[in-house]
A and B are shown apart, each in its own frame.
Chain A
Amino acid sequence: MLVRILVLLYLAGAPALAQTLCQPNASNGCRVRISIKTALGNQAYEWNENEMFLFRATMAFAMRRYYKTETYNVDNIIMCNQTLRVSFWFVVTSPENSTMLIPKADVEKAVRMSRHRINNAFLLTDRTLEFLGIHPTLAAPVNPDTPPWLIVFGVVIGAVFAGIIALLVSSLLQKRRKEKGMMEDGQDEEDRQMKGVENDNVLDGIYNRGFTDDDRFTKL
């Protein structure tokens, strides 16, 4: 009889004892804030007891991973003070002694180690599943060996130099061809001069033939 009363008292008192362990602003407690609608919009799920259970299981998983023991269980994660936000406090008890709390620093390290897995379990991100006090890890910047802009620059300048060389070579060839052509028909010189393009002024007057420089035709 006495034993039954004691057992009943224990069963009644254990949750109460657990509740006293988990207090808002407790020194070893962690506050969690979740923004499901912000993260998922139309596909947001409802936060209910099942999700709470998943959270406790994930936290137990994180503790197991960190300590590399298999003794952590869902009962070791105690949650309290849940609000509509959704936010709540949780504490982690030691598997050997259920009244002893794991220090906050160790809990933080465990969370940091498995942060990615915890986020993915809830389809959330560092920003929407916040552990207050634990800063999100900064994404390491992707540093490619050659900066991409240098590649684009290389392509552009290569094309430009190729174009310059091509145009210069073709101008040179054109000039050589013209020179050859001109030496062959020197007779056309006189005709061309008749256009009267002197000093870059197109003179609309009559070219005075008396002043043509045609010495070379009167070699005699």
Chain B
Amino acid sequence: MPEEGMEDNKGREERPKWNNKAEYLLTCIGFAVGVGNVWRFPYLCQIYGGGAFLIPYLIALVFQGLPLLYLELAIGQRLRMGSIGVWNSISPYLGGVGVASMVVSFCVSLFYNTIVAWVLWYLFNSFQDPLPWSQCPLNHNNTGYVKECVESTPVNYFWYRQTLNITPNMETSGSLQWWLVVSLATAWSIIYICFIRGIETIGKAVYVTATFPYLVLTIFLVRALTLPGSSEGLIYLFTPDWEILKNPQVWLDAATQIFFSLSVAFGGLISFSSYNSQKNNCERDAVLVGVINSATSIYASIPIFAILGFKAHTNYVTCLNGNILALTNEFDISDMNITVENYEQWFDSLNGTHPSRVSDLNLKTCDLQTFLDQSASGTGLAFIVFTEAVISMPGSQVWAVLFFIMLFSLGLSSMFGNLEGILTPLHDLKLVPKWMPNELFTAIICLVLFLMALIFCLGSGNYWLEIFNSYVGSVPFLIIAFFEIIAVAYIYGIGRFSDDLEFMTGHRPNIFWKVCWLVISPLMLFVVLVAYVAVQAQTHPTYAAWNPDYVNFPDTEVLPYPDWVFAICVLLSSVPVISIPLVAIYRLICCMSGRHSKGSLHNDPNPYANEGYVVES
């Protein structure tokens, strides 16, 4: 039974423990495996030459992902504290790394749960027949369909108008969309109920949230492989284009994808492993989590692309059928004489005999390749492309419900890690008043996050979410991870770290890990960071706005960010990491003025020093 939260007379608590190893592993896997594995990796695989992309991806996993993962799990397990406590222990000058982790986790929790709220909204709407995104609604006098819907597609209309109610640009904020607020409240309530008793309830919840996506992916795999056009999608996905490896952008994207996919530098993994007993083989855990994460990405891309192939095939057939109908009507040919198979022959013969009449029909060029190229990633994949594919599948409601529950589980298990990266450091910093029970503190944090996330429920919310995603969820992590690895490898010392690892796992780390920590990983991180910033800085950032009055509607209008928004972007990238130099300077000043070597007490926990006697002011 967990000995969690037991209090003695003095009010000191014993650290919570995992019920069993499986819960711990499932939680870490659930944290690492998120919606990005489903909607970002397949897209990258597709645009970067299919099977060939696996090479830079796996190289990045082995030389950058796994060492970082092992490092985080190890220091969390050894020092038994959340991110702030851990970095304070390793070096008080680098305590800012922990603070930065916490701030970044806070910002990511804000927008990530909004995505979960959108998934919930779609899930609630999947219990209808017909699905609301399958047809256009009528306009008010019932004479025709809504103009915006007719010009774009019902799926786009449902996403941009009936879900987001998006404004034409960022300057117009619009109002709060009550249905999104309701969905967001549901999402935060569900998070809260899973966090009520800390890892006791999380450990139970992950049995479902971490395993259910695999079940759904398998079901989709079986279903998708029986759909027509699925094989074209799979061939398109996996056909390797070896030339693409010469493009440095591919390597950059592979490195960043592995990095963000493993969810390092959030502080969540440190928190989770701090609840372990010290004698636990974290090396095996790290390799397991890393490999399962990548395997899930690859496994998820198969049904996704089978279904996208089916969608492309359906669009192609619809396009051809439109042309066939036009030709049949124009030339009064018997019904169903022209079919998809003999369309080419009929077209050639008719074009030969009556070229002017055929050209007047303005037939569309239907190319399967063009439809396959219409790929999307992120929310576009889930809410536009996939929902369109689901409409054409028999039994659409079932597939829609399954798909959105899967996305919800993926998002929920990742949110556990995000929130844990905020709560555990706060507990360790002893910022929680003694009288406040944990449940109340968690509730307050969830409430604060919910209220701040209401900004994403405005009309312009989606634009702000993209900004948060691009600026908070990228560069700060790279910086934090870089400092993490420098701190452990050089400041804490690889020798002392190896001693700790020997104590925990029973054997010293082999030469591969040491070389990675000392040289390869920091170098890779540095190069990736510099390259990423360089690529971003080259162009003035723009965003794609959905503007029904745009000349080229339904194409999105590409607008530049206004200056004040751009300033906010820069702030979002820099404020989380500004704590790293700030804390270092602060400690330096304290150290210079006070001449107290309080720091050394934290550096080597001397069992004979009896810290219980340090006067707590």
* B186 neighbours in A (Cβ, 8 Å): 153, 156-157, 160
Q: From A4-12, A61-69, A108-116, A198-206, give the one contacting chain B.
A: A198-206
Further 8 A-B residue pairs, CB within 8 A, beyond A138-B142, A148-B124, A156-B120: A85-B332, A86-B334, A148-B125, A149-B179, A156-B124, A182-B8, A189-B8, A211-B610
- Across the A-B interface, give the 6 residue pairs with the lowest CB-CB distance, nearest first: A205-B607, A149-B124, A37-B336, A83-B332, A85-B332, A84-B334
**Stretch of A50-58, A71-79, A97-105, A164-172 lying at the B interface:** A164-172
Asked whether any CB of chain B lies closer than 8 Å to the CB of A218, the reply is no
The residue that A200 contacts in the complex, of B9, B15, B144, B185, with Cβ under 8 A, is: B15
Per-position 1/0 for A25-37, Cβ under 8 A of B: 0000000011111
Contact of B80 among A160, A186, A200 (CB under 8 A): A200
Bound complex: CA A49 to CA B124 (Å): 53
- Asked if residues B193 and A164 are in contact (CB atoms below 8 Å), the reply is yes
B interface vs A, CB < 8 Å? 6-9, 12, 14-15, 79-81, 85, 120-121, 123-125, 127-128, 137-138, 142, 144-145, 179, 182-183, 185-186, 189-190, 192-193, 196-197, 201, 278, 328-329, 332-336, 428, 437, 439, 605-608, 610-613
Judge if A14 is at the interface, Cβ distance under 8 Å: no
Known: A198-B612, A200-B428, A205-B607. A85 touches B334 (CB 8 A): yes
Contact with B along A169-200 (1 / 0, CB 8 A): 00100010010001000100100110001111
The A13-41 residues at the B interface (CB cut-off 8 A) are 33-38
A86 touches B335 (CB 8 A): yes
Measured CA separation A198–B8 after assembly (Å) = 12
Cβ-based interface call for A1 (8 A): no
Contact B127 A84 (CB under 8 A): no
Given A85-B332, A192-B8: A153 in contact with B608 (beta carbons within 8 A): no
Q: Which of A148, A156, A157, A161 contacts B128 (CB 8 A)?
A: A148
Provide 24 A-B residue pairs closer than 8 Å at the C-beta atoms, listed in order of the A residue: A33-B329, A84-B334, A85-B328, A85-B329, A85-B332, A85-B335, A138-B144, A149-B125, A150-B124, A151-B127, A153-B182, A157-B186, A164-B192, A164-B196, A168-B196, A175-B437, A189-B8, A192-B8, A197-B12, A200-B15, A200-B80, A200-B81, A201-B605, A208-B608
Nearest to B201 among chain A residues (CB) is A167
Count residues on chain A whose CB falls below 8 Å from chain B CBs: 48
Chain A: minimal CB distance from B188 (Å): 10
Cβ-defined contact, A37 with B142, below 8 A:
no
A122-180: which have CB < 8 Å to B?
Answer: 138, 140-141, 148-153, 156-157, 160-161, 163-164, 167-168, 171, 175, 178
**From A205, which residue of chain B is reached at the shortest CB distance?**
B607
Q: Give Cα A159–Cα B130 distance, bound, in whole angstroms.
A: 26
